[in-house]
Structure 1
Amino acid sequence: MRIMVIGGGGREHAIVWALRKSEKVKEVFCAPGNAGIAQLAECVPIAVNQFDELIRFAKDASIDLVVVGPDDPLADGIVDAFEAHSIPTYGPRKNAAEIEGSKIFMKNLLRNYNIPTAKYETFTNYEEALTYLRQQDIPIVIKADGLAAGKGVTVAYSMEEAEGALRSMMVDKVFGASGDQIVIEEFLEGQEMSILAFVDGETVRAMVPAQDHKPVYDHDKGPNTGGMGTYSPLPHIDPALVEDAIENIIKPTARAMVSEGRPFRGVLFAGLMMTKHGVKTIEFNARMGDPETQVVLPRLQTDLVDIILASLNGRLEDLEINWSDEAAVCVIVASEGYPASYPKGLPITGLAEAEALGALVFHAGTAEDAEGRIVTNGGRVLGVVGRGRDIAEARKRAYEAVSVIHFDGMHSRTDIAAKALQ
């Protein structure tokens, strides 16, 4: 098969890596890709939102299957656009991708179908939102309704911080139209857990769970990012909680989407909080998580192409999906200044040395400069994955690999997966 992956980040590098392992794959293309993906696939310089150009390329290159990575093109209807040209495409259609594209849609869906989530209210008027906010307990969570590159959520620990977040979203428009409507919801206390699932209508095949680290600094300090690291499995979390989340949150949500006339086909990502009152939903994403994908796919033993084809052909229910007992820990290496502004174009050294140590190095924000050097080209630059018999061994290998990589101003958290060892 000739497969095209849409996207250019760490998640897409991991997807390309997994697809390349399949004997069914002859060639992989990636639009637009990055410097790391270019070592495994032919990168095509077309942006993820240029649907007409992507479709034209897919036809000219006789692409058999398209796999969509990021959220924005899914929310904008890329799957519908490709399907209109009879090109098999893996990912939810526009009306199903709204489960991520609109937090208000998602929260209302959960409320209407009695699926556990935090208490909330939604607002389109700044003054009304401010009045409501001032009556709430702190900490409190403020969310922009639309997509905001993983940064549209503020967990405020003071009223001053909460009011500032509300003002920046609704008045200053830091997230553009995504902040026209906002959600104010109760703060949920507990440990987070991510469960990705292959979904085809009411058929749900959950992947192994992972845990993300959103804040930029150690001990969960500092502003939220798109994710500073992940690990899987979760030895410190009761498997019964994982089962609870699958049976009482993910499966009912898949059924609810079918009931709403928006059947979901693709990867549904559940961001969950394990509270003292049970597992509750923080968010749903309509695609593989980043950086969760970087630790989940290395544990997948079944051919990813077989899973995608089974989904597209309505046979997901019949497929056996197997997972490795091996642990995986991903440490994100970020640019100085991230998640705020950061420089680009800084040469990266030590990549070959890190891979020689046995690490998987998934490129997120990289490019090749005029001299053929791999340079920084984003906030999250690399996802360095260590694998081992258990979390301790995988973690040790990940950090050993990070230690040989260098670019000016690089930073990473030093406590990824530490929770699992306590």
Structure 2
Amino acid sequence: MDQLLHWHEEDDPAVLSTVKEVLADVKQRGDEALLEYTSKFDRFSVGSVQELIIESDAIQQALERIDPKQRQALEDAAQRIAIYHKHQVQDSWRYTEEDGTVLGQKVTPLDRVGLYVPGGKAAYPSSVLMAAIPAKVAGVKEVVVVSPTPDHQVNDMVLAAAAVAGVDRVFCIGGAQAVAALAYGTETVPKVDKIVGPGNIYVATAKREVFGVVDIDMIAGPSEILIVCDGKTNPDWVAMDLFSQAEHDELAQSILISPDSEFLKRVEQSIDKLLPTMQRKDIIKTSLSGRGALIQVNNMDEAMVLVNRIAPEHLELSVEDPESLLPSIRHAGAIFMGRYTSESLGDYCAGPNHVLPTSGTARFSSPLGVYDYVKRSSIIYCTESSASRLGQIASELAHGESLEAHAKSAEYRIKAE
């Protein structure tokens, strides 16, 4: 099992060296460096970074250009995502003690966030919705997108999603140089408070390097699905659900757990039957053979032990009574309940966020949400009498830590008896 679950994209010294060089270059030379990297990596040249900006009017025009059915799907998904994430909004609060001490918490949205959206071979408008809408629900003032556009080919679906989600500006830049621009700011690209979104190894390494200068969401690994089935779901459905993650890339992981050995055989037959029909069959085959598994367990209790050990990104409970299993699950990014709830619905339109912890990090991490776009400030107000009472406690503790100024600062406010 340890070998099956092991995934670690080894730190590549060459990648790290390149990323550090790019970060330092953009930090020092700003727009000039961005233009050079765009010409080198994305194969087109412009005279200024201003020409790489797509403003809100042009973003909106992309929404008008796409197929009406695609627009409707984007808008329907966006509405559902917004409704779900509004339930995550936390208000500021405070309470007053008997002596007049006021304690509380002030919740404040971040000023500006940057969303990294992959470009080139892949385009993910759904990821734009998932990253931008919670930020807007949280009250973030400005949301900007950076996305590479090789050969200056801009994806209209990505722009349309940005329009629906309320993105303010799109910058046609990508790679480590885009992360650097967001982290440090340039003459044209604004510095942000947080960078969110997936990317290749250069982007992931750059995000790791700039953490602390700005906040980041996570360093995501390959996509994962774990299906627990009682043996009564259509095996074709289960096979396709396994494919839905395996088609992402060769390192994606798809695992099925069941106490029914005959069912596992039927799913294997479904895999053999359906795989040749898939457009991305080569990727799926490599993923399943390298990191996939069909696991037989003795019972559902044993299945739950494995679930918590794996701590999957996506967990499907394809069983008659998923509610009965829910209390046993401690570690999972998103839990899909019942036979009819495919993971793909969560990817696009169910409402919960599809930006989820991977590689076992669901043991301590949560899905992206409104709470990732706000910060909390503590509120403390003391009256004369409460400062005196608390000062005596603080004084004792400060002396215990040999911090004289701390002690005296509190003692000055203690009322004489």
Q: The TM-score by the shorter chain falls in which range?
A: 0.3 to 0.5
* Between structures 1 and 2, the one with greater strand share: 1
Q: Which one has a bigger Cα radius of gyration?
A: 2
* Between structures 1 and 2, the one with greater helix share: 2
TM-score, L = length of structure 2: 0.34
